[in-house]
Amino acid sequence: MKTFLALLKLEFWEHKGSFLKTPIIIGIVLVAMALLSYFTTDRFILDVSGGDNLQLAIGTLQNVGNDKINFALDVLMLMTGSLFHFILFIVVFFFLLGSLYDDRKDGSILFYKSLPVSDTQTVLSKMVTATIVVPATFIFGLIISHLLMFVVISLILLINGLNPVTILWSNISFIENWGAFAVGCMVQALWALPLYGWLMFASSVAKRRPFLLAVFTPLMAGFVWYWYNALVNLNLFKFGFFQTIGMLFAKATTPFATGFGNQNFETMDFDPTAHSSGEVIYSMLNGLMHVELLYGLIFAAVTIALAIYVRRYRNTV
């Protein structure tokens, strides 16, 4: 266990920039956008509060019901959470894509081989880093980002003579929204696990440019399979090829869409702005009941096992 924890720490410190700094940068950008929108809104012609300026529009918040303010804050926190989920997927994607290839490219695999660490431990430590460690840093980053945003909004309210405690802080559902993001990270990792396993396999096999193997190989295979079945039986697929790929991508990048199973995008009635954080959590957990997830986990286990096997016998690019 100590050896495995040491490997996790090693992975974290080697990629500290992308794992820790990325969510912090996102938070800084969100805060900067909030400040920029406040200081520049009056420069535009807006139909707010009957044409009044932004300060007067903010003043009307004290006449708005707490339920509407709570709803608006839930929307804000869920939408920023969706942004963090998407960027989390991108960070993990490129981390796993180079996880085993870069070790062979820079020769550091020889260092790993000299340690009393098995290839299984090394590969699994990278997968655990991608599915647990990185999401944990993004959860931390999201919490800090939300707190910074609400501090900035509080200052704006104070400047305009309003009480931020009664208008803002008392209407924020911290536990529910942060819990929804944490559950979303778990759901995202489970749905994306077959893709993560494939990325590790491609990273272990590729002699150069693992991106081409990881992305274009399944795309070409999908095109060939789709058109073959289209010629044999035009009604074989309920969805079109691009709709199917799009749905799988949506489940891997935006866990809020996983609670709706195999619905078509045209009939998918999910709208994050129309549901509370509790309903979002329920829909995500409900999405784990589909048999497709089990197939994905089996595929992930096979690809990870293959990545371990290949790494055992390949030390160079």
Measure the CA–CA gap between 306 and 197, rounded to whole angstroms.
9
Name the domain count of the chain: 1
pLDDT at residue 149 greater than cutoff 80: yes
Q: Is 308 helix (H, G, I), strand (E, B) or coil?
A: helix
Other Cβ atoms less than 10 A from the Cβ of 117: the count is 16
Residue-level pLDDT at 45: 40
> Is residue 141 very low, low, confident or very high in pLDDT (cuts 50, 70, 90)?
very high
pLDDT at residue 247 greater than cutoff 60: no
Task: Give this prediction's pTM.
Answer: 0.79
Measure the CA–CA gap between 117 and 3, rounded to whole angstroms.
7
What pLDDT digit, counting tens, does each position of 28-76 carry? 998 888 888 777 765 444 444 444 455 555 556 666 677 788 888 888 8
Residues 247, 218: contact at Cβ < 8 Å? Answer: no
| Size of the chain in residues | 317
- 90 token code pair: 């991108």
> Is residue 259 very low, low, confident or very high in pLDDT (cuts 50, 70, 90)?
very low
Measure the CA–CA gap between 260 and 288, rounded to whole angstroms.
10
Q: Is 169 exposed, middle or buried (0-12, 13-18, 19+ CB in 10 A)?
A: middle
Residues of the domain holding 142: 2-313
- The backbone region for 49, taken as left when phi is positive above 0, alpha when psi lies in -120 to 50, beta otherwise, is left
Average the pLDDT over 204-208 and give the result.
86
